[in-house]
Amino acid sequence: MDEKYYAQKIEQKWQKRWAKNGTFETNVDETKEKFYCLEMLPYPSGRLHMGHVRNYSIGDALSWYKRLQGFNVLHPIGWDSFGQPAEQAAIKKGVNPREWTEDNIVQMREQLQRLGLSYDWSREIAAHRPEYYKFDQWFFLKMREMGLAYKKMTKVNWCPKDQTTLSNEQASGGVCWRCGHAVEKKDLAQWFFRITDYAEELLEGMEQLEDGWAERVLTMQKHWIGRSEGAFVEFKVQSSKFKVEDENSESIKVFTTRIDTIYGANSIVVAAEHPIIKANFDDFSDEVKTKIEEIRAELQKPKDYGEEIEKDGIDIGLKAINPFNNEELPVWIGNYVMMEYGSGAVMSVPAHDERDFEFAKKFDLPIRQVISEPHLVHEHQQMQALALEQAFTEKGVLVHSDFWNGKTSEDAKKEMTEFAEKQGFGEGAITYRLRDWGISRQRFWGAPIPIIYCDSCGEVPVPYDQLPVELPESAPFTGVGESPLARVPEFVNTVCPKCEKEDARRETDTMDTFVDSSWYYFRYTDPHNEILPFDPNAVNYWTPVDQYIGGVDHAVMHLLYTRFWTKAMRDMELVKFDEPVKKLLTQGMVVGESYYSDEHSTYFPEDSVNIKRDDRGKILSATLKEDDSPIKVAVEKMSKSKYNGVDPDDMVLIYGADAVRIFTLFAAPVENELVWQETGIDGAVRFLQRVYRYVNNWYSALKNTPKVEPDEFSPDARKLRQKTHQTIKRINENFETGQFNTPVAALMELLNSMNDFKVELNAANEGDLFAVNEAIKSLILMLTPYAPHICEELWEILTTSEEGILASNARLPIADEHWAKADELEIPVQVNGKLRSRVLASPEATNSELENLALADDKIKEHTNGKQIVKIIVVPSRLVNIVVK
């Protein structure tokens, strides 16, 4: 054993040995209980960042912990390797996206290996490889057969100059991010997955997840799905060319969640894209036409986040009849009504809806209160109009509503909906905010959608035996124009699988990368299957995922899509459960200190600034080295542009992977933000060095440790054993509740106790050796999830066996309650709830014994002398509280 702890030497040794022995490779084993530990797969950008390190350190600790408990652990990794950055690199630097991606994977894989993460590398997958995306296409075809994949026209952000589609981010501010040209909306035929079919189930399924998923994630998903209960009501329209589904009725259908307020409706407001506008456009006055164009133009512009638009609209001259009271209402167009939600038309009830109120105020439309607070019903029924200061949106009691007067909102909603249904002008309905999932991307670097267009046969799916539809080697990457694939004739031109005519064309759009990540963790269970996405037996054994770990930024999109995908797979009879992930852990961001100037909002690297701190670390002044100008300091998410990131590789090189990992897990609870402080890693290194030194000091003496537990232990040895077993107990409890920081603290405490146990090596008796040996082996096994390299090394030294911790079948120690219990307890004694003294008592002491001990204590006597003891509260082995007057 080396005198000193050389992290790099030990780490390289064990990384090699693990790889050689396939230590972390797993197979289906029905005799063992399985545990599937999954971390969100990385995008191969080329460099690992600290967020990755944190994510994987958590997963790795849990994997080790479960392995050491005897579970058969699946802990895989792969690459979310399709997507924008590769294509951007191709556009900007002219590199081939495939080569760029493969190079990045090689680099990042090495980085992961240098961290010593316990992945089963034989199961590595990458989304951009044909053997993987073949099954994206396979699933697409299945979805299409089930009616879950369909094509429809939708509006996309479109740059007319570059002739290309833009994401919302690329179109921010209403201009193209490349050329600055004004962005337009364009109709484009796009493929969708019918996730809305599962809206209700996605909502209901959350009940099963309540225990294992963070509440904030569930509420975000709930909000996203946005279920609301209400009713559609039809308002007959006079003098309109407009025709709806039922050609006999000419009416506008509105959606409302407050049918109880319908007597307060003063108008109907429709969206700019509503069919009635198009149908009657020619008949509108010029003024109306201009206004409509204006509103449409305004809506064309992509909106900036958080921007509130002033209400606008115009009376288009049509009249609609309120079916409840036959009142004739004007029809308006309004910029605040969205075509995508409900039916694209609302009844405007200003008295009871804030938006309608604002609209009515602006255009001076009548505001009529029809819901009243219960205690004001009588008054309101007497008065005709009431000057409302703001909309009254609460539920209440109906007034000015004819037959329905006096009913509560709740009752009225139910009964009025039934009435509408009976009369045939409405129906109860549930709408969702959730939209179908658009998966078409006009991009090269994604899985081609396996559809062929034939002039004779139309839209033809690629037959399963012709999958995968492979991406060509390359394409013209200009960043302008339509999908790059459209300009690769060898790809586009094909034979129709149905009629075998030669002038068929392939779909040139590729799939959203969220498709790849919706099912990748099923693929890990059987990653080399060439016929099916996975073998049902493998999936049945390994899935669902027991613990998923990742950033909260995926709370909605990825985690909702993958839940949808699982339900669809269930309906394909590929899996037997509804929810793919039992427990979800959302980790916090890794943040660092960044330096910036306010006016220019430019950031400076650390070596270009002078930071003066007081001796407690508080910043006194921060200036730029160059010209002494003052700068500002903030703690923000690590990023290259802010120069506040640290490179994991540098950290591993300087401090060692074990130290980096231990610090990452120790410094903060996993769901909190983690402030990166290099002095903190020093602490982790010191701890590991102390462990190493301790073993170095004892290991030869420990060769004489008795095999059988001796009968006699000195008081100090008993204390050490007590601490050992208490620590074991604590750490097991912590891991079960997903706490990763406190076990490290517990291990540090244990080591402190071990160091406090002062026995001369050559004077150590059997009991001492046994106690030390027990403490040290327990410490090592419990530290393994955090710092596996050093623990393997120390285990090898102590056991003089090279087989390694897992192969030796070592298990996490189990606490012995007998030893965990103290011989003597220090019981705090309070007088009137204030701590006044402590007494020593046996853990078995009865309540009255404790009372007597407390009352006999000198310090307590001082506080009770001459006072009347009202009562004494004894919490067994916890505390005594004496209440005096």
Tell me the closest approach of the beta carbon of residue 434 to RNA, in angstroms. Answer: 8
Nearer to RNA, 308 or 364 (CB): 308
Q: Does 619 bind RNA (CB under 7 A)?
A: no
Tell me the closest approach of the beta carbon of residue 534 to RNA, in angstroms. Answer: 32
Which residues fall within 8 angstroms of residue 512, CB to CB, at 6 or more apart? 437, 438, 439, 440, 441, 446
Q: Say if residue 876 is preceded by a cis peptide, omega within 30 of 0.
A: no
Q: Does 866 bind RNA (CB under 7 A)?
A: no
Q: Find residue 868's DSSP bridge partners.
A: none
Q: Does 748 bind RNA (CB under 7 A)?
A: yes
Rule CB under 7 A: which of 332-391 touch RNA? 335-338, 340-342, 344, 346-347, 353, 355
Rule CB under 7 A: which of 3-62 touch RNA? none
Query: Rounded CA gap, 118 and 183, in Å?
Result: 48
Nearer to RNA, 575 or 591 (CB): 591
Q: Assign residue 617 a region: left if phi > 0, alpha if psi is -120 to 50, beta otherwise?
A: left
Q: 255 by DSSP, 3-state: which?
A: strand
Nearer to RNA, 162 or 733 (CB): 733
Q: Does 871 bind RNA (CB under 7 A)?
A: yes
Rule CB under 7 A: which of 266-285 touch RNA? 271
Nearer to RNA, 383 or 840 (CB): 840
Query: Rounded CA gap, 243 and 743, in Å?
Result: 69
Here the tokens at position 135 are 């099954």
* Angle between helices 648-655 and 678-698 in degrees, nearest 10: 30
CA angle (611, 613, 614) in 5-degree steps = 165
The size of the chain, in residues, is 885
Looking at 38-46, 173-181, 396-404, 683-691, which segment touches RNA (CB under 7 A)? 683-691
Nearer to RNA, 90 or 667 (CB): 667
Rule CB under 7 A: which of 215-254 touch RNA? 215-216, 219-220, 223-224, 226, 228, 230
Per CB under 7 A, the list member of 682, 709, 823, 849 interacting with RNA is 682
Rule CB under 7 A: which of 90-149 touch RNA? none
Please compute, for residue 253, the number of CA atoms within 13 A of its CA located in the half-sphere on the CB side. Answer: 20
Tell me the closest approach of the beta carbon of residue 463 to RNA, in angstroms. Answer: 39
Here the tokens at position 414 are 């139910």
Identify whether the C-beta of residue 362 lies closer than 8 Å to the C-beta of residue 338.
Answer: no
Nearer to RNA, 748 or 779 (CB): 748
- What is the distance, to the nearest Å, from the Cα of residue 388 to the centroid of all Cα atoms in its chain? 43
DSSP state string for 723-777: HHHHHHHHHHHHHHTT--HHHHHHHHHHHHHHHH----GGG--HHHHHHHHHHHH
Looking at 315-323, 406-414, 449-457, 869-877, which segment touches RNA (CB under 7 A)? 869-877
Per CB under 7 A, the list member of 2, 473, 673, 803 interacting with RNA is 673
Nearer to RNA, 705 or 830 (CB): 830
Tell me the closest approach of the beta carbon of residue 727 to RNA, in angstroms. Answer: 11
Q: Does 807 bind RNA (CB under 7 A)?
A: no
Rule CB under 7 A: which of 408-437 touch RNA? 431, 433
DSSP letter, residue 846: -
Nearer to RNA, 481 or 843 (CB): 843
Nearer to RNA, 137 or 753 (CB): 753
Rule CB under 7 A: which of 818-837 touch RNA? 826, 828, 830, 832-836
Residue among 591, 636, 634 nearest 611 (CA): 634
Tell me the closest approach of the beta carbon of residue 774 to RNA, in angstroms. Answer: 20
Binding letters toward RNA, positions 451-490, x by CB under 7 A: ----------------------------------------
Nearer to RNA, 36 or 687 (CB): 687
Nearer to RNA, 196 or 474 (CB): 196
DSSP letter, residue 325: T
**Residue given tokens 């007998």 in the structure block:** 818
Residue among 831, 739, 819 nearest 778 (CA): 819
* Angle between helices 766-783 and 715-736 in degrees, nearest 10: 20
Residue among 863, 759, 746, 737 nearest 815 (CA): 746
Q: Does 873 bind RNA (CB under 7 A)?
A: yes
CA torsion angle 548 551 552 557 (round to 10)? -80
Query: Rounded CA gap, 81 and 42, in Å?
Result: 8
Rule CB under 7 A: which of 637-666 touch RNA? 666
Query: Rounded CA gap, 511 and 670, in Å?
Result: 33
Cα maximum dimension of the chain: 109
Rule CB under 7 A: which of 200-219 touch RNA? 215-216, 219
Per CB under 7 A, the list member of 739, 765, 766, 797 interacting with RNA is 739
Q: Give the H/E segment covering residue 391.
A: none
Q: Does 311 bind RNA (CB under 7 A)?
A: yes
Tell me the closest approach of the beta carbon of residue 544 to RNA, in angstroms. Answer: 25
Tell me the closest approach of the beta carbon of residue 427 to RNA, in angstroms. Answer: 14
Rule CB under 7 A: which of 540-599 touch RNA? 552, 556
Tell me the closest approach of the beta carbon of residue 777 to RNA, in angstroms. Answer: 20
Nearer to RNA, 72 or 724 (CB): 724
Rule CB under 7 A: which of 836-865 touch RNA? 836, 838, 859, 863
Here the tokens at position 314 are 């115009």
